[in-house]
Amino acid sequence: MRRLQFAVLLSLAVAGSASAQVALGRIHGSSSYSPITGFVALIDISDPAVFDVVVTGIAGCAPPNVALNQTDLFAEQQGALVAITANTGPYVGSLGECAVPEGVLIDDETTINPYPPGGLTLYFDNDEKATITDDVQPGVIMINAVGGSLKVGLDGTCNKGTLLVKGGHPGTCSIPKPATIAPRGAIGLDSDRKLLIIVTIDGLETDTGLYTSDLAGIMIGLGAQNAINFDGGGSTSFLWRPGTNPPPEDPKLVTKLLNAKYPAIPNKNNVQFKCVRLDPALGWFNSIPNYPTYRPVYASFGLRYTGALKKVEPRAKE
């Protein structure tokens, strides 16, 4: 009898449910000049079936312009699990207003604002690994990218900005306002470039928050090998939007979160912090409760949680 071979395709069959590696926490601490509170999310992006990167604001402007958008509206429009304020520009205007963002902005392989020489950049060359750099090499593939601040320090401290963390060490001058106590937002990457470390610090500018050098120490304590400082002050936002399908936490990342400590940095022993676990099934968070509305910015960064099931490859059956 002839044996017949045929393929059975189970495109949505479970080959083990999708594994999201996530830990969500609240930051508590103190410095010699201010209390410290904020949010942190550790997210492993190494499985492209689980997370999609999303950037930019409202569409409708001709590149290199982009429309100002609030991070909460961006998160809702994009269906983002987590979102953080990212790129700023020369001024803050009204919702929907078009202008040119300060740094690079690439959305799903579409270049909205090109990479400037010496720009500080978080970019993704695929959906499984990211890079934070101040030296993008010619010809590098960037599917999604968003820049940090590029110009001089707004408080007169820097002629040229640096990464918040580079090679596991604090940057020498992470702008825009390194010498000002303020709310902060940043993203870091571990040495494998697969673990995103997303942090915002609450506060009121000149009153409560952190200097960028102290934020760098917190990022290093959370495992950042490189980190980029994003738009802070009144623009700072952190949103966690799990919807009906929140990702499960990863025990190893929760342990990493809870064990984070400020590293031994010379002349920087006045900061103490600890992380407290938060339930990822909880609803919206905004890290700046002192502001009645979200300030529109040129770009926000977010991740969608797809919770996608693995595909089963076609197989032969007799």
**190-217 per-position pLDDT tens digit:** 999 999 999 999 988 778 899 999 999 9
pLDDT score for 9: 25
Please check the confidence at residue 5 and state whether its pLDDT lies above 70: no
Strands across the sheet containing 121-124:
110-113, 105-107, 144-147, 121-124, 130-133
- Which residues are CB-contacts of 226 (< 8 A; sequence separation ≥ 6)? 132, 133, 163, 165, 166, 167, 188, 189
* Predicted local distance difference test score (pLDDT) of residue 224: 98
Taking alpha carbons only, the member of 165, 202, 214, 158 closest to residue 28 is 202
Place of tokens 């571990």: 190
pLDDT at 188: 97
| Reported confidence tier of residue 157, pLDDT bands at 50, 70, 90 | low
Q: Bigger pLDDT: 244 or 13?
A: 244
Q: 287 pLDDT exceeds 60?
A: no
Identify the pLDDT of residue 264. 86
Given a cut of 70, is residue 156 above it in pLDDT? Answer: no
Give pLDDT tens digits for 86-138.
Answer: 987 766 678 899 988 888 899 999 999 888 777 889 999 876 789 999 888 87
More confident residue, 186 or 155: 186
- Please state whether the peptide bond connecting residue 101 to the residue before it is cis, i.e. omega within 30 degrees of 0: no
Q: What is the pLDDT of the chain when averaged over all its residues?
A: 82
CA 38/CA 28 separation, integer angstroms: 7
User: pTM, whole model, 2 decimals?
Assistant: 0.88
pLDDT score of 46 more than 70: yes
Q: In angstroms, rounded to a whole number, what is the distance separating the alpha carbons of residues 65 and 59?
A: 10
Q: 288 pLDDT exceeds 60? A: no
Reported as a pLDDT band with limits 50, 70 and 90, residue 163 is very high
